[in-house]
Structure 1
Amino acid sequence: MNPNVGLIQRLEKQVTRLPQAVVKLENAIEETRQEYRDAATVLKQPFKYADALHKARWAVERIGRQMRGEENPQPTLDAELKVMQKIQRANSPVPIGTRSATPAVEAKPAQARTEISSPQRDGMDR
């Protein structure tokens, strides 16, 4: 048998399987699109445990305040203040005051080489 005949037969089999592969990929695409639609629908719904989460956070804060010695801790969480803090954290990931200068101004360790001139060093250079 000619070696080209085997190659032609394999190619013919692959060509006959192409429609099945197309159907399989189209089904996978449709499943993925449906998962996306389901996820988008779920994301539009409000978090159903938001109230319980808020109460639990307040309980943790109240316990912390009691441990620090407050008599009757009252909630002082202002929703608008929380939103502002969240925006600030998103805009400035590095806490304010922790960086002394901007990265362009800061000297790199490799560039900031200094000469050591001390009495111990004198006389050692020969």
Structure 2
Amino acid sequence: MTLSAKQKNIVEENIRNEEFNVNLMAQELGMSRTKFYSRLKSTTNKTPNDFILDIKLIKASKLILKEPNMTIADIATQTGFNTARYFSQCFKNHFGISPSQYLQQETKDKVQD
């Protein structure tokens, strides 16, 4: 397994853990925080926090479409966010629209296809 695949796998295994952070990830990989930061930054051009956040938000976007009746608060919890408000803010910053708008847009696009 490549390092980037292993990193992604670790985030996905800990996705519900609100306490999961860069220190825990580095520890899982058997690296110091500094070494982990430089390795990740050089391979993905993202900071560890951004890398973790991206994986969580991509998982959330899939969950929104897979479980359209699930509340935003439940999706936030399922993807390791402390509050629905913070989750919605991060989601909007990443995708440019709110989670509910994302669901409406994706559902509309599927109907038009």
TM interval, short-chain normalised: under 0.3
Structure exhibiting the larger radius of gyration computed from Cα positions: 1
More helix, by proportion: 2
* Structure with higher RCO (Cα < 8 A, 6+ apart): 2
TM-score of the pair, normalised by structure 1: 0.23
